[in-house]
Chain A
Amino acid sequence: MSDAKKVMITVRKPPHGSIYVHEAIEVMFIVASFGLDLSVVFIDDGVLALKTGQDTKELGIKGFMASIGAFMDFEVTKVYVDRQSLEDRNMSEADLAFIGEDETTEQPVRPTILDSSAIAALMAEQQSLMAL
Chain B
Amino acid sequence: MIEIDEHLCKGCDICIEFCPLKVFEKSEKLNRKGYYVPLVACEDECVGCRLCELLCPEFAIIVTNE
Q: Do A and B come from one complex?
A: no
Which residues from chain A sit less than 8 Å from chain B, CB to CB? Answer: none
Which residues from chain B sit less than 8 Å from chain A, CB to CB? Answer: none
